[in-house]
Amino acid sequence: MKYIKYIVILLLIFFSIFLYVGRPEEKLISENISKNEIITIGVANTGAPYLYKSRADEQIGYNVDVLGLLSEKLNINFVLIEGSIEDLMKKLQNQQLDLILGLQYNASETDQVHYSKPFIDNHARIFVKSTTTFINSFEELAGKKVAIYKSDPSLSYVTGLKNIRIFKTESTEDAATMLKYGTVDAWIGNERESVLLLQNPNYSSSIKLVGEGIETFPSAIAAHRDNNVLIELINKGIEEISNSDELNAIETKWFGEIFITDNSGLKNSLYVALIVSVSLTIIITVIFRINHILKQEVDKRTKEIAFQKKLSVDMLQSLSDAVITIDGKKNILFVNEKVHELFPKQDIESCIGKKIEESILLSIISLEDIEKCIYNQETISNIEKRTKTNETKIFEYSINPIELSLSSGETINGATIVLRDQTEETIMKERMMSIDKLQSIGRMTADVAHELRNPLTSISTYIKILPQKYDNESFRDIMIQDLTSEIDRINVIVNNLLNQSKAKSPEREHFSLSKEISSILRLTKMQTQNEDITYVQQVDNRLLIEFDKNQFTQVCVNILYNAIEKLRVESGGQVRIVGKYHQNKIILSFEDSGSIIPTSDLESIFEPFYTTKDDGNGLGLSIVYELVSKNNGSVRAYNSELNKAVFELTLNGALIYD
């Protein structure tokens, strides 16, 4: 019996060894992974309650506890590697890392990573200020500003919402703070950590949770796309801990209540007091520093503004024209030194702050012009005003609308008046115009004397032979007809001369452009009949111009004389006069075949006393400009495409149809 007993025991031992040896060892993963192997797993440093450091500098949090549970179930040691999602993904692709914990499902990354089964369900929730009543669902976020933590699992869902402005923050608490202070209209966060943050008294009284949550992509553990074996192991561990009491306990610990520290209340109070003191010190230091920087910047800007103001005033004071600034109520705000020079006997300075109507300035400047500028924003330019006291004074003023800035930041309409004493310049111009007119008359007198010789010769001839042929009736008829014609011709010549001597004040009338040009050319041709200068007249005979007739003759004579002098030097040429109707204006051009006008002379050619001739006075073309302007026309000089000098007048007038 005794031997049988020993034999049975040996058989049982042998059988047990056989079963153990005959069965392959149960591997948790595969032949490539053994028990207690070290696996590196990346965890995003998202802070509490997922992963953060305790005061003892230990890594604690929900992720740490979950990894501990998995490690226990799978007999694997995990080494945590902290970092951003971007850095962890790079390490995973370079196989410097085995796994990443808490990576949200993303379809665009399935060709790079292999996801495990989900172990955290994510729900996006809306948080608004306690006083907000107009947001209760995701649809009502349209057109609103929304804050969200940049690594929140809800971000992928929120990014897909239309017509909202998203503000990504560095932490969930930053998003809550933006909502608290009204920077955004709502805060969207993952339900777990956001509800936990809402238990903080700093936010619980001012922020509330609204609407239903939206389930977003869950979070899982990810491995390199080729590491299927490791993911199979992780999936097995997730299945084992899912819905387990241990996992529920971890979730309750970190999400069901505010995490508890192991310090006593007094110690916590001391820590809080220390943190508050340090924070206040830092804040006060920062405030003083900011205040110092702001003060320096304010002083700098104040000096710059003062400099710019002084520079502006100095520039206005240095102007040769008088400058007056008034506001929308016609109160005088500023006058420069030139105003005092124009009115030395008046206390102009005392007028500042008073109505312009109460100053001597209104004797020169029209109140109607001032009101047009202020109320209608019209620009008033180059208005001449003559005053007579002991002596005649001639002023010219312009008024320009401006916007004046008030200390409140508002702007009001105002005006700047520029006043100039034109007495000497105007008198000099008038004298020079008179001199020029006398010179023109002198030139024309010689021409008239020459032209009168022809009709007088005809009359003299008829008178001499009249006694011999007095009885010849046919002769008498021809004589009377010819003498009448010659006398009319003399009358025209004399009238042309008289017209040149009349006063220059514009007395505009309508007359035929073609006839007047023909009349002017008759005298001009006499002056150059022995020279190689020809004239071509291409003026539409249907044109009527509105101009002072005497002044028009003076304008044409000055332009023609200018061309004739040039052609004489160049041994002859042609002058072509063209008149046409264009865009409700009459365009009259004088073109000569001589040399072109130098580009350097074009800008100054109409300025008084500007001349390129040795014996010229520089008044002829300036008088042309003056007279044309006074008759509401314009004149310009240019070189044509055919390299010919052209003087072009744009005049008021009409086209008369037969």
CATH code, domain carrying 160: 3.40.190.10
Strands 52-53 and 59-60: antiparallel
493 and 597 in a common domain: yes
pLDDT (tens digit per residue) in 302-329:
777 777 666 666 666 666 678 888 888 8
pLDDT of residue 647: 94
495 and 583 in a common domain: yes
For residues 596-608, average pLDDT:
82
Q: Backbone phi, then psi, for 24, in 5-degree steps?
A: -65, 150
pLDDT of residue 6: 59
- Average pLDDT taken over every residue of the chain: 78
d(CA 108, CA 335): 73
For residues 545-572, average pLDDT:
88
Q: Would 69 be classed as within a structural domain?
A: no
Q: Would 268 be classed as within a structural domain?
A: no
480 and 395 in a common domain: no
473 and 441 in a common domain: yes
157 and 207 in a common domain: yes
Q: Would 402 be classed as within a structural domain?
A: yes
What three-state secondary structure class fits 106?
A: coil
333 and 188 in a common domain: no
Does the pLDDT value for residue 285 go beyond 80? yes
CB atoms within 10 A of CB 185: 20
pLDDT of residue 82: 83
Residue spans of alpha helices (H) in 98-227: 155-159, 172-180, 191-198, 201-204
CB atoms within 10 A of CB 636: 14
* Boundary residue ending a domain (210, 233, 255): 255
pLDDT of residue 27: 38
* Boundary residue ending a domain (375, 396, 417): 417
The residue that leads in pLDDT, 194 or 17, is 194
347 and 450 in a common domain: no
pLDDT (tens digit per residue) in 621-654:
888 888 899 899 999 999 988 888 999 999 999 9
Q: Would 90 be classed as within a structural domain?
A: no
SS (HEC) of 549-613: HHHHHHHHHHHHHHHHHHHHHCCCEEEEEEEEEECCEEEEEEEECCCCCCHHHHCCCCCCCCCCC
Does the pLDDT value for residue 9 go beyond 70? no
pLDDT of residue 29: 40
Q: Would 59 be classed as within a structural domain?
A: no
Q: Would 287 be classed as within a structural domain?
A: no
pLDDT (tens digit per residue) in 239-269:
888 777 887 888 778 776 433 333 344 446 6
d(CA 617, CA 129): 85
Enter the pTM of the model.
Answer: 0.34
d(CA 148, CA 162): 15
The total number of structural domains in the chain stands at: 3
pLDDT (tens digit per residue) in 324-349:
888 888 888 888 877 777 776 566 66
For residues 381-405, average pLDDT:
79
626 and 490 in a common domain: yes
Q: Would 442 be classed as within a structural domain?
A: yes
190 and 135 in a common domain: yes
Range of the domain at 500: 427-655
For residues 599-604, average pLDDT:
81
CATH code, domain carrying 561: 3.30.565.10
Q: Fill in the DSSP letter of residue 618.
A: S
CATH code, domain carrying 334: 3.30.450.20
pLDDT of residue 542: 92
Tokens 């000099």 correspond to 428
* Boundary residue ending a domain (207, 234, 255): 255
Does the pLDDT value for residue 204 go beyond 90? no
pLDDT (tens digit per residue) in 126-146:
999 988 888 888 888 888 999
pLDDT of residue 75: 84
Question: What contacts 24+ positions apart, CB below 8 Å, involve 238-245?
Answer: 238/70, 238/116, 238/117, 238/119, 239/117, 240/73, 241/66, 241/69, 241/70, 241/73, 241/119, 242/119
**CB contact set of 284 (below 8 Å; sequence gap of 6+):** none
pLDDT of residue 578: 95
pLDDT of residue 588: 95
474's tokens: 């046919």
CA 432 to chain centroid, in Å, comes to 49
511 and 393 in a common domain: no
530 and 443 in a common domain: yes
For residues 431-453, average pLDDT:
62
pLDDT of residue 262: 35
The residue that leads in pLDDT, 569 or 55, is 569
Lowest mean pLDDT among 168-177, 438-447, 520-529, 556-565: 438-447
Q: Would 571 be classed as within a structural domain?
A: yes
Percentage, residues of the chain above pLDDT 90:
12
Give the highest mean pLDDT range of 23-27, 161-165, 480-484, 630-634. Answer: 630-634
The residue that leads in pLDDT, 565 or 214, is 565
What three-state secondary structure class fits 264?
A: coil
Contact 364, 387 (CB under 8 A): yes
619 and 517 in a common domain: yes
The residue that leads in pLDDT, 526 or 208, is 208
Give the burial class of 493: count Cβ atoms within 10 A of its Cβ; 0-12 exposed, 13-18 middle, 19 or more buried: buried
